[in-house]
């Protein structure tokens, strides 16, 4: 039963619905609510920023610092590409991608996004055929992606030398990427400027009683709260269990090699058959060997060198680059691959925000979560992604 649609359909109820919501709580009372956010990654910081901009009383609890968990170890590719299915999931990612343009303007020069799109190519006939099918579907959905011939490929990425003849290629021109740690710090600072407080502490317990949330216990003491946003990454299931609900995540490690800075060699995200790679604004080449999970947790420098050697097979400028860092991250991946977001009747007062593609969707999640929390609304783009679907 939809809160807003139900009230708006009642005789004489439209004005009341816009001001008080289904729970009979006024807008002023909702803004006065004490809202806690567990997790200082890209999703938690974005939600905190939007809530604070609306005038809410917001406290963020983070164990270490900005982007210390999954966010900081992310490839941080902003996209609504082929894996974003069904269409509702594509549209949510597309909304997030467009939201980065708005967030970039609103946060200011401290938030740097690298645009230019992604260039994907295939060498095997069956994979090239699949690429054409995927491209056609994305174009039907209105996504700006285009087939690329040999001349345009060379113009877009003259430093890329595929190992075999390219049988199919596509340029998704609207896509981009961020350096996840610096971007999260910029959003964190913007939230603080709006009045949000960031507390370095681990949330160790939920104070629940008589069907309501009363607060949280942390390593820095107890905090009374009216609403808790659970954007705690892979730590979310443990906290949700204290509320008697399950947040089903699957383990999905990802390893990335980061080079020392080098001269400009790659202007777009490169999606090659063997590797995915990008170059940051600082000049570091960042590369990984698969988006489906590394299958290994070996984040040694030797593994990093192997990844950069594979990268050099299609990007000669990466040959001989020194590895500066190898990162191992655990994606926040719900069991069915799609976000878990919103309130749930099984855990009153807790707003769930667990998702892969968190980097892409963070701006949209910040805006939509603030609407649902402060306006007592249920927004259509999130309807398919409630926790209740797992019951």
- For 309, list phi and psi in degrees, rounded to 5: -65, -40
Fold of 116-175+251-334: D-Amino Acid Oxidase; Chain A, domain 2 (3.30.9)
pLDDT, mean of residues 195-201: 97
Rounded to 10 degrees, the C-alpha dihedral 357/358/359/365 comes to 120
Residue 310 in this model has a pLDDT that exceeds 90: yes
Lowest mean pLDDT among 28-42, 139-153, 204-218: 28-42
Residue 365 in this model has a pLDDT that exceeds 60: yes
Beta-ladder partners of 62: 200
- The band of 210, judged by pLDDT with boundaries at 50, 70 and 90, is confident
Residue 355 in this model has a pLDDT that exceeds 80: yes
Instruction: Decide if 33-72+181-248+335-390 and 116-175+251-334 have a common fold.
Output: no
pLDDT, mean of residues 356-383: 96
Fold of 33-72+181-248+335-390: FAD/NAD(P)-binding domain (3.50.50)
- Give the pLDDT confidence score for residue 296 in this predicted structure: 78
- Could you read off the pLDDT of 247-272 as tens digits, one per residue? 999 999 999 999 999 999 999 999 99
Alpha carbon distance 119, 83 (integer Å): 15
Domain ranges in the chain? 33-72+181-248+335-390, 116-175+251-334
pLDDT, mean of residues 122-143: 97
Which of 289-324 are b and which e, b meaning 16 or more Cβ less than 10 Å from the residue's Cβ?
beeeebeeeebeeebbeebbebbbebbebbeebebe
- Give the pLDDT confidence score for residue 294 in this predicted structure: 52
Cβ atoms of 267 and 160 within 8 Å: the answer is no
Alpha carbon distance 342, 337 (integer Å): 16
Q: Which DSSP letter does residue 149 get?
A: -
Alpha carbon distance 327, 300 (integer Å): 9
Cβ atoms of 175 and 77 within 8 Å: the answer is yes
Alpha carbon distance 386, 197 (integer Å): 28
Helix, strand, coil percentages (3-state) for the chain, rounded to 5, are 35, 25, 40
Cβ atoms of 198 and 65 within 8 Å: the answer is no
- Give the pLDDT confidence score for residue 15 in this predicted structure: 30
Q: Which DSSP letter does residue 357 get?
A: S
- The band of 209, judged by pLDDT with boundaries at 50, 70 and 90, is confident
- Could you read off the pLDDT of 71-87 as tens digits, one per residue? 999 999 999 999 999 99
Indicate the average pLDDT of the chain: 91
- Could you read off the pLDDT of 95-110 as tens digits, one per residue? 999 999 999 999 999 9
Beta-ladder partners of 279: 285
Residue 293 in this model has a pLDDT that exceeds 70: no
Q: Report which of residues 329 and 5 the model is more confident about.
A: 329
pTM of the complete model: 0.91
- Give the pLDDT confidence score for residue 32 in this predicted structure: 66
pLDDT, mean of residues 227-246: 96
- The band of 20, judged by pLDDT with boundaries at 50, 70 and 90, is very low
Closest CA to 225 of 106, 59, 48, 1: 59
Residue 59 in this model has a pLDDT that exceeds 60: yes
- Give the pLDDT confidence score for residue 12 in this predicted structure: 32
Residue 273 in this model has a pLDDT that exceeds 50: yes
- Give the pLDDT confidence score for residue 295 in this predicted structure: 64
- Give the pLDDT confidence score for residue 211 in this predicted structure: 78
Query: Which tokens go with 124?
Result: 């095997």
């Amino acid at each position: 039963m939809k809160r807003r649609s139900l009230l708006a359909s009642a005789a004489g109820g439209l004005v009341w619905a816009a001001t008080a919501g289904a729970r009979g709580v006024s807008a002023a009372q909702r803004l006065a609510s004490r809202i806690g956010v567990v997790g200082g990654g890209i999703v938690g910081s974005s939600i905190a920023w939007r809530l604070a901009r609306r005038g809410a009383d917001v406290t963020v609890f983070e164990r270490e610092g900005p982007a210390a968990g999954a966010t900081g170890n992310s490839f941080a590719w902003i996209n609504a590409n082929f894996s974003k299915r069904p269409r509702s999931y594509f549209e949510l990612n597309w909304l997030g991608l467009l939201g980065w343009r708005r967030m970039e303007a609103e946060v200011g020069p401290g938030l740097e996004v690298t645009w230019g799109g992604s260039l994907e190519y295939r060498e095997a006939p069956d994979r090239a055929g699949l690429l054409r099918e995927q491209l056609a579907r994305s174009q039907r959905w209105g996504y700006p992606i285009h087939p690329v011939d040999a001349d345009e490929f060379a113009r877009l990425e003259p430093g890329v030398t595929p190992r075999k003849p390219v049988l199919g290629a596509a340029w998704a021109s609207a896509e981009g990427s961020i350096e996840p740690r610096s971007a999260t710090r910029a959003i964190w600072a913007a939230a603080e400027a709006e009045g949000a407080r960031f507390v370095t502490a681990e949330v160790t317990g939920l104070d629940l009683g008589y069907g309501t949330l009363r607060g949280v216990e942390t390593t820095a003491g107890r905090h009374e709260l009216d609403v808790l946003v659970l954007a705690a990454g892979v730590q979310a299931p443990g906290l949700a269990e204290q509320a008697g609900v399950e947040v089903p995540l699957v383990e999905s490690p990802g390893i990335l090699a980061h080079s020392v800075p080098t001269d400009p060699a790659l202007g777009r995200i490169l999606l090659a058959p063997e590797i995915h790679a990008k170059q940051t604004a600082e000049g570091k080449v960042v590369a990984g060997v698969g988006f489906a999970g590394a299958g290994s947790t070996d984040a040694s420098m030797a593994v990093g060198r192997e990844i950069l050697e594979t990268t050099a097979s299609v990007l000669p400028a990466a040959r001989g680059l020194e590895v500066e860092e190898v990162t191992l991250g655990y994606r926040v991946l719900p069991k069915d691959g799609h976000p878990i977001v919103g309130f749930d009747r099984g855990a009153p007062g807790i707003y769930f925000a667990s998702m892969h593609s968190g980097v892409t969707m963070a701006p949209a999640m910040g805006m939509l979560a603030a609407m649902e929390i402060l306006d007592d609304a249920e927004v259509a783009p999130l309807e398919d992604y409630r926790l209740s679907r797992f019951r």
